[in-house]
Amino acid sequence: MSDVLPLPIVLDPIDGISTRAFLDSMRNKLESIHTVSVTETANQSTTTTIALDDSIPQSSEGVELFTVNIKPTNVNNRLLIDVLLPVVANDGANNTVIMALFQDSTANALAVSACEVISGTSIHQLCLRFILTAATTSTTTFKLRYGGNAGTTTLNNALFGVSSVAIMTVTELPEN
């Protein structure tokens, strides 16, 4: 005798979809097709800036940290990009640290994340999540650039005797 109880098949009275069919369709939407990740643990600093204004950041601003190539399997699939950057603005208060995501040779950023650093000694975890339709089955390249609006910005500043880890992950998900 099995300890596993079978999932009851219940039909929705409105559209006739069974519970099992619904759960299977949801699982398919959440399963990734493939994932590409890159990490950086080295402590590095830059004085290269990204303007803190109402313009779209350009691919010439900031310093490039990550480049991730992915070859989608279906043009209708979705690409989920997640980035985490542990940063410090070394030049004191009121420096804003900015990161911008770019695709291929496009000059305008697809997405931007920023945080104001109140104290030059505080570490901040800058986060970005972006999703888009693949729109191609050719290899596409995502690039991440970062910098402060002024002064020096440090990535992966060692604290507690260990270096932090910056990470960028691109995950291909099935179409909706």
Rounded average pLDDT per 10-residue block, the chain, 176 residues = 49 53 59 90 89 95 97 95 86 79 98 83 85 97 94 78 86 88
Residue 51 lies in a domain: yes
Number of domains in the chain: 1
Across 12-105, the runs of DSSP E, i.e. the strands, are 34-40, 44-46, 63-70, 78-89, 95-103
Burial class (CB in 10 A: 0-12, 13-18, 19+), 125: exposed
Place of tokens 């209708």: 76
**Residues spanned by the domain of 58:** 32-173
Residue 162 lies in a domain: yes
3-class SS at 29?
helix
Residue 21 lies in a domain: no
Please give the pLDDT value at position 1.
Answer: 45
Residue 2 lies in a domain: no
Please give the pLDDT value at position 29.
Answer: 59
Query: What's the rounded Cα separation, in Å, for the pair 107 and 125?
Result: 26
Please give the pLDDT value at position 21.
Answer: 62
CATH assignment of the domain containing 108: 2.60.120.1340
Which pair of structure tokens corresponds to residue 94?
A: 């009121």
Residue 82 lies in a domain: yes
Which pair of structure tokens corresponds to residue 2?
A: 């099995």
Please give the pLDDT value at position 151.
Answer: 82
